[in-house]
Amino acid sequence: MQETKVDRTRRTVVLLDPPTPNDRGIAWDRIGRSCTELAELYQTVKESRIDLILVDENRTDLTRAVATRIRRHNGLTDIWRLSRDESPLEPEPDYIDGVLAGETGADGLIGRVDHILRVKGLLGRYLLVGRSARMKATAEIIERVAVTDMAVLVIGASGSGKELVAQALHDNSSRSGNPFVALNCSALAEGVLESELFGHEKGAFTGSVARREGLFHKADGGTIFLDEIGETKADTQVKLLRVLEDGTYYPVGSSTTRRVNVRVISATNRDLTEAIADHVFREDLYFRIAVVKIMLPPLMERKGDIQPLLHHFWRDSPSLSYSDSALDLLMRFDWPGNVRQLRNFAERMTALRGKGLVDVADVQAFLDEQYSGATHLPVSTGKTVEEAGQELIYRAILSLGNEIRMLRDLITAHLPGEPPEEGYGAEETPDIGTVSLERMEEEMIRRVLGETRGNRKEAARLLGIGERTLYRKLKKFRLS
């Protein structure tokens, strides 16, 4: 739905350069309210809900601090730069959401402004909180795909909002009047998962004292959301493939085919192409569930959304706010737990503070707790997963080296007091620097496997590396 002129002008403000406010030959009142002073802009955003601010490229007074202050009234306010063209010589700072080219003329600007406001409306409609370009792109994909029956695979880290996207796809489809059923596939054992999905007959297994319908039956006519589908085993994958191909399945213990009309939306926090290469996920099933893929970015890649998310989480606590320095500290943290972790912080501040200003000390106390609780995991630092894994291995090797030194000193202290052999005095005992790096890495992996009693998935988690990487190293060191 296109924005009307009334909608557009009510929701948009143009901050012009005082010396040449009309040098582009554009009637700004067709686009929004115009002003030339920051004080006037502050007053406008305080009195009205402003969703978009256009800033003349010659204005240098709209700084990060000014943008933060403006967004205290509406965390979702977009700020775009008005430029001569859309390819500025220098990249815009992260508090600027985009660039609009004035050379397109009034009609071109109006079209772009209407599009920006329309996409912001989609985000609100789908209950997605954010201003980032990637979340806006996600909203547009949902708009196009929701009305179809295509299978969708939502890819994103834990806590990034995968079920929220699945719910939006269902609520805006022709199936919205029918059930939406969600299941976390990693939360159930394989035998239980199969029964939960497809149901079972009485006596199909020990304890099945009555017939039970599965989630596919309950979702008939609607949507089923299978979170962490990458954790399913081969037998379940075969049955899921059949449902996706022809809409039929067999309840556990039954020889009678059941037919169902269900849209399947799946989600994963792992790279399924890697799982396919490791022969733990079926390629044919992947192509069935991933007709359309929606990639959800982690919070560390859309930190501009932290401020609006805080406003959203504190919408029922209007007397609770934050200092600029506290927000800056929140923006520097990488949020390995994503939006779920930020929500945890917001709810904690609601309980502990209730009202008033959240300051740096409050944020630091929370972050210190996050660091202390992640002693076995790499703290996210903006690196790639592979880089973070390598850093953790490096740190673990150094720690192992210290233990080797301590062990060497302990053994040396208990040796008989005989003179050292010629050419190998105590002062020449090999240092950690001469010990093979691969040998230390092998020993570290061996020890972690011992601690996890051979559980490779848990060992990979403690090491901070992917299971595929761990398998490769096990093969290399002949530990498998």
Tens digits of per-residue pLDDT, 341-367? 999 999 999 999 888 899 999 999 999
The domains spanning 136-295 and 300-372 adopt the same CATH topology: no
At 12 the three-state DSSP class reads strand
Residue that wins the pLDDT comparison between 156 and 480: 156
Q: How far apart are CA 15 and CA 275, in angstroms?
A: 51
- What is the model's pLDDT at position 238? 93
Tell me: pLDDT of 223 over 60: yes
Average pLDDT over residues 238-258: 88
| Domain 136-295 in CATH 3.90.870.30 | no
Q: How far apart are CA 268 and CA 250, in angstroms?
A: 25
The domain spans of the chain are: 5-125, 136-295, 300-372, 385-415+428-476
List pLDDT tens digits, range 299-317. Answer: 999 999 999 999 999 998 8
Residue that wins the pLDDT comparison between 4 and 97: 97
Q: In the chain, pLDDT over 70 holds for what percent of residues?
A: 80
pLDDT band at 421 (very low <50, low <70, confident <90, very high): very low
Tell me: pLDDT of 333 over 70: yes
- Give the largest Cα separation in the chain, rounded: 97
pLDDT band at 245 (very low <50, low <70, confident <90, very high): very high
**CB-side neighbour CA atoms (13 Å) of 31:** 28
pLDDT band at 3 (very low <50, low <70, confident <90, very high): low
Residue that wins the pLDDT comparison between 105 and 307: 307
Is 0.85 surpassed by the pTM of this model? Answer: no
- What is the model's pLDDT at position 461? 73
List pLDDT tens digits, range 162-216. Answer: 999 999 999 999 999 999 999 999 888 877 888 889 887 775 555 655 778 889 9
| Domain 300-372 in CATH 1.20.1510.10 | no
Q: Tokens for 63, please give them.
A: 């700084």
DSSP of 111-177? HHHHHHHHHHHHHHHTT-----HHHHHHHHHHHHHHTS---EEEE--TTS-HHHHHHHHHHTSTTTT
List pLDDT tens digits, range 258-285. Answer: 899 999 999 999 889 989 998 999 999 9
- Return the exposure string of 47-76: e unless at least 16 CB atoms fall within 10 Å of the residue's CB, then b: eeebbbbbbbeebeebeeebbbebbbbbbb
Residue that wins the pLDDT comparison between 176 and 92: 176
Tell me: pLDDT of 374 over 80: no
Alpha-carbon distances of 161 from 133, 168, 268, 272, rounded to whole Å: 16, 11, 11, 19
Average pLDDT over residues 446-457: 80
- Return the exposure string of 298-332: e unless at least 16 CB atoms fall within 10 Å of the residue's CB, then b: bbbebbbbbbbbbbbbbeeeeebbbeeebbebbee
CATH class of residue range 5-125: alpha beta
